Structures are given as C-alpha cells and as structure tokens.
C-alpha cells in the first residue's frame, strides 16, 4: 500500500540506527533487568516487520504486542529463544492457536488463567504465561483477591511456568505523582504471591523512575521510537521518524481571501500560500488548524484554514519569493519539529500521532549501522 517516493504526497523516513541507539541507551539504564520492546499497533505505526529485526540485532529478546493477530503477523521475525507476549490477554477459543505458535499470553483474569491451565493439563505439557495483576490502574489484570486465588491453585503452579508477573503504571510520565509509589507497593505485594517469577512493571517512563521500578523485565515502547517519556529530560531520545510533505500548489492571495473548508481563515493582508499533499487521512489531526505548522529552510510555515482529508494549506509568506517550488518537500516532523512538538500543537500525545501515520506515505528505512559486515566485505 505504501507509495513509491517520487509520486507519494509525503515521505516517511524511519531511522533504524536511531531506534537501535534508543534501545541500547534504555537497556543500559535498566540493566541488569532485560529490556523488552513493545511493538503493538505495528510498532507504533512504524512497521513491525522492519522494527522487530532491528531490535533483534540490538539484542532485544522480549516482544510485546496487544493482540494475538499482531503476534501471529510478526512471529516469523522473532527468533527462537526470544519471547512474544500478548498484552490484551487470551480470547476464549484462541488457546490452541496461541499455544501452537509458542506465543505467551498475558493472563488478565481467573477465567483466562483457568483455560490456559486446562489446556496445559490436557496436552500434558507446561504452557508458559505471564500473569498481570492490577496495581491501581483499573484497566487490565487480576484483582488482589483473584491473584491470591490463582497463586493457591496447585495445578496452575505446576502446569503454567510464569515468564513474568506484570502490572502497568498509570502515571509513569509524571515522576512526581504519588500514585507511582502506591502502584509500586501494591505490585510488590501481589508479585510476592508468585515467588520466583520475574517482575515487570516499568514502561518507558517507568524505566526512568528509579531502580525500584525496573524489576527483571522492563517494557519500553515510545522512547524507542524517539519520543520522550517524560518532560524535561536532560538528554532527549534520538528522533526516529522524519515526515516530509510535498508542495502541490503555490498561490498568492489578496487581503480578505478565505482559505479552506468553511473559509475559516481569511488572509489579513496579501499572503503567499502553499498547499501540501497531506491531510487528516494521513493522520494529521484536524486540530492543527491555527496551531500547527510545517517548516522549510528553518522557517516556520503556519497552517492556515482547516486541514482537509488529503491536503492542507500553509502560509509561506516568510520565505523569500521563489524559495519554494511545486514538488518541493517541507518538513512536518523533523529537526525543527519533533513528534512531541507536533503532538503538543495538536493537543494530543506522540503515541497518537505515530500510530495514526497513514498508509499512503512513501516509506524509507535508514538501516541500522552495522559496521562489521561492511569491514569484512572490504577485507
Ligand atoms: C503500551 C504499553 C507499554 C509501553 O508503554 P510506553 O509508554 O510506550 O513505553 C508497556 N506496557 C504495557 C502494558 C502497555 O500497554
């Protein structure tokens, strides 16, 4: 579905070496814990088929997706000896499919745990799983009472080796929130019901909260993809995504001219405008109207009028006349405007921007720098 670069309306460039650098940085931060990669939603929209092999090359051995279907789609990229986990749990009836593909379900309820245990009993072989407990987010996972019931289930303990006991933080992006310490304490209490199981609590933000939060497996998503999991980091994570949109028309309009659907923006004085081949069908939020911008040559080009489905218009009057031509590319995400900046302008979060990135882009993957094979080739 991706478009060849020379005819695409916009180009998405995904820097796998930046991805690998972000992975290595966070892995060093959480060591000796393992760093798992969260690659749900097609690796946050960046393409799991490319992202997973790059992370494997960086040493990642644990991968989390949300749905069993996502796991089945990428299990060929996950090498033997690595683990692939499904966060959203075990859909009734999917037990055999999950077990047949060696995918590890995250068991979120007693019912799910019992169905997995029963399959292990029927097959006469152990079936590994992760147990999730609710430590305070009230989204997924066993309650304290259900966790105690499961921990006392001797068949479950004998038949279901636990790859981890996990929980998820509601406020990891806000280090000052007391909820983090409360969740940590509740998690420690519930995890103790499953002695010997590795513990997994931290997402990207949690990795930065302190050693106590890291457990034996940390689960990072957004930081790997180049967005900062908390504000005011001394060193930002390396940008992974660059997005450039093509200029498809230029015009000069006199004062009083309306622009776009509803004619919501009226040129106050004569203005030079550029229409770009990118719109909300490509994942650019309509809320960017009047707040967002594109960039060219270090100059900010404010979005004027409503964002359309397939195009939007920017004011290019601050550029020298003739600086921009039809067919040129302007920056939507890049050196001047990080994904976090675009998200802030749209009143949303980087996760939503990344996972909305459209299917019509030309896509280029910059390979992870891999110097050794090149040197061997020369020698
Ligand atoms: C999505 C998700 C993560 C990754 O979170 P980031 O903030 O992107 O690092 C980790 N754990 C669970 C349970 C998740 O749903």
Task: Write down the mean pLDDT value for the chain.
Answer: 95
Res 233: pLDDT: 86
Nearest CA to ligand 1 atom 3: 203
Ligand 1 centroid from CA 203, angstroms: 5
The phi-psi region of residue 365 (left if phi > 0; otherwise alpha if psi is between -120 and 50; otherwise beta) is beta
Ligand 1 centroid from CA 135, angstroms: 15
Q: Report the C-alpha gap between 113 and 31 in whole angstroms.
A: 30
Res 6: pLDDT: 82
Nearest CA to ligand 1 atom 13: 168
Give the residue extent of every domain in the chain. Answer: 16-225, 241-366
Beta carbon of 62 within 6 Å of any ligand 1 atom? no
Candidate from 38, 199, 217, 231 with most ligand 1 atoms within 8 A of CB, to mutate: 38
Tens digits of residue pLDDT in 13-63: 999 999 999 999 999 999 999 999 999 999 999 999 999 999 999 999 999
Tens digits of residue pLDDT in 57-68: 999 999 999 999
Supply the residues annotated as catalytic.
40, 261
Q: Is 70 helix (H, G, I), strand (E, B) or coil?
A: helix
Question: Is 16-225 a domain of CATH 3.20.20.10?
Answer: yes
The phi-psi region of residue 137 (left if phi > 0; otherwise alpha if psi is between -120 and 50; otherwise beta) is alpha
Tens digits of residue pLDDT in 196-233: 999 999 999 999 999 999 999 999 999 999 999 988 88
Residues at the binding site for substrate are: 139, 309
| Superfamily holding 241-366 | Lyase, Ornithine Decarboxylase; Chain A, domain 1 (2.40.37.10)
Beta carbon of 168 within 6 Å of any ligand 1 atom? yes
Nearest CA to ligand 1 atom 15: 87
Cβ partners under 8 Å of residue 17, min gap 6: 366, 367, 368, 369
- Residue with structure tokens 């814990």? 33
Tens digits of residue pLDDT in 129-166: 999 999 999 999 999 999 999 999 999 999 999 999 99
Q: What is the dihedral of CA 326, 328, 334, 337, to 10 degrees?
A: -30
Tens digits of residue pLDDT in 256-279: 999 999 999 999 999 999 999 999
State how far the alpha carbon of 8 is from the alpha carbons of 12, 55, 169, 361, 364, in Å: 10, 28, 39, 6, 12
> How open is the CA angle 134-136-137, to the nearest 5 degrees?
85
What is the pTM assigned to this prediction? 0.95
The band of 370, judged by pLDDT with boundaries at 50, 70 and 90, is low
């Amino acid at each position: 579905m991706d478009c060849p670069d020379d005819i695409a309306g916009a180009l998405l460039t995904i820097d796998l070496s930046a991805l690998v650098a972000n992975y290595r940085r966070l892995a060093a931060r959480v060591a000796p814990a393992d760093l798992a990669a969260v690659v749900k939603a097609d690796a946050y929209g960046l393409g799991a088929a490319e992202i997973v092999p790059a992370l494997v090359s960086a040493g990642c051995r644990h991968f989390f997706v949300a749905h069993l279907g996502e796991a089945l789609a990428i299990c060929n990229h996950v090498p033997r000896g690595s683990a692939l986990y499904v966060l959203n749990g075990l859909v009734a009836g999917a037990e055999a499919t999950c077990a047949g593909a060696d995918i590890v379900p995250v068991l979120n309820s007693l019912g799910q745990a019992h169905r997995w245990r029963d399959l292990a009993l029927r097959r006469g072989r152990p079936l590994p799983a992760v147990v999730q407990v609710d430590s305070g987010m009230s989204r997924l996972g066993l309650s304290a009472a259900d966790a105690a019931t499961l921990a006392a289930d001797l068949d479950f303990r004998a038949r279901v080796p636990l790859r981890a006991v996990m929980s998820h933080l509601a406020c990891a992006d806000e280090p000052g929130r007391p909820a983090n310490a409360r969740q940590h304490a509740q998690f420690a209490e519930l995890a103790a019901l499953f002695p010997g199981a590795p513990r997994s609590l931290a997402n990207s933000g949690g990795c930065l909260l302190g050693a106590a939060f890291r457990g034996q497996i940390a689960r990072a998503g957004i930081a790997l993809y180049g967005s900062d999991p908390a504000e005011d980091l001394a060193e930002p994570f390396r940008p992974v995504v660059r997005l450039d949109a093509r200029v498809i028309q230029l015009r000069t309009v006199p004062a009083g001219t309306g622009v776009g659907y509803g004619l919501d923006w009226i040129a106050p004085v004569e203005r030079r405008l550029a229409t770009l081949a990118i719109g909300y069908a490509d994942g650019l939020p309509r809320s960017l109207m009047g707040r967002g911008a594109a960039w060219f040559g270090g100059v900010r080009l404010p979005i004027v009028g409503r964002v359309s489905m397939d195009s939007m218009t920017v004011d290019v009057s601050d550029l020298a006349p003739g600086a921009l031509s039809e067919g040129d590319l302007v920056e939507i995400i890049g050196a001047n405007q990080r994904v976090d900046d675009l998200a802030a302008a749209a009143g949303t979060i980087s996760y939503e921007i990344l996972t909305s990135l459209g299917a019509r882009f030309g896509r280029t993957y910059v390979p992870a720098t891999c110097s050794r094979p090149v040197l061997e080739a020369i020698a």
